[in-house]
Amino acid sequence: MLVQILAIIMSYLLGSISFSVLLAKMLKGIDIRQHGSGNAGATNTLRILGKGPAIIVLCLDVIKGIVAISIGKWLGGDSTWIPALCGIAAIIGHNWPLYFHFRGGKGIATTIGVLVSICFLPALYAGILAILIIIATRYVSLGSLVFVAFTPVFLLILGGYTASVFWTSLIICLFAFWRHRGNIVKIVQGRENKIGSKGSNKRGKQGV
């Protein structure tokens, strides 16, 4: 039990590494949370630092989720819940990072890493749908919500996955909707920042 708790703590600490904050400080000497949308994620990194840094942040944040699941499988024994809890812990760490005064992003990139690790095909199908939504609307936040909403749907359609995987995907979905509640209001009102915009409103932040 102690080792399993350690795995969850390690995953949270891993998730707390905010690559967008670190890269912005390294490249421009700024706190990215004070610029653009104010979100510590890949979309705001694209807005402030450009495509290259944004791709780096996206990939590293996804890797956090993948590594967290690997830690859970390594230290979790035969439990299917420990890897799931490690994935959730990494997402919580990204959103409320210990090292950065608990001000992070919204965890979608790390969520991608978690979900592709525990249910690759459902996450892939949901990801394709999300990409199409982003292309059509230019709302990254809407695409993010489509991704987390449809992953559990595809899990049910495809079948063959454990209860821990389904409930984890559902918990992550509800968590993401809560974190994006401001974005949802802005989408309905037509005020949400679109990808490529220079929006400076720090409420209802968009991004991953």
pLDDT along the chain (208 residues), means of 10: 94 96 94 87 89 95 97 92 96 94 91 97 97 94 96 95 94 92 91 69 48
**Residue 195, domain member (yes or no):** no
Let me know if residue 120 belongs to a domain: yes
- Helix, strand and coil content of the chain, in percent to the nearest 5, comes to 75, 0, 25
Residue 95 located in a structural domain: yes
Give residue for tokens 């990409």: 131
Cα angle 103, 108, 110; round to 5: 85
pLDDT value at residue 207: 53
pTM beyond cutoff 0.85: yes
CA 87 vs CA 36, 117, 169, 185: distances in Å: 28, 9, 10, 28
First to last CA, the chain: 33
- Dig out the tokens for 129 from the structure: 């749908």
- Position 194 in a domain: no
Give the up-direction half-sphere exposure of residue 90: CA atoms within 13 A in the CB hemisphere: 32
Place of tokens 């979790």: 76
- Residue 148 has a pLDDT of 97
Residue 74 lies in a domain: yes
The HSE-up count of residue 35 (CA atoms within 13 Å, CB side) is 17
- pLDDT at residue 208 in the model: 63
Residue among 102, 104, 108, 103 at smallest CA distance from 127:
108
Residue 130 within a domain: yes
* C-alpha to C-alpha distance for 9 and 191, rounded to whole angstroms: 38
Integer Cα distance of 152 and 138 in angstroms: 24
Number of domain units in the chain: 1
Instruction: Let me know if residue 168 belongs to a domain.
Output: yes
Give the number of other Cβ atoms within 10 Å of residue 102's Cβ: 11
pLDDT reported for residue 200 = 43
Domain of residue 154, residue span: 2-189
Residue 176 falls within a domain, yes or no?
yes
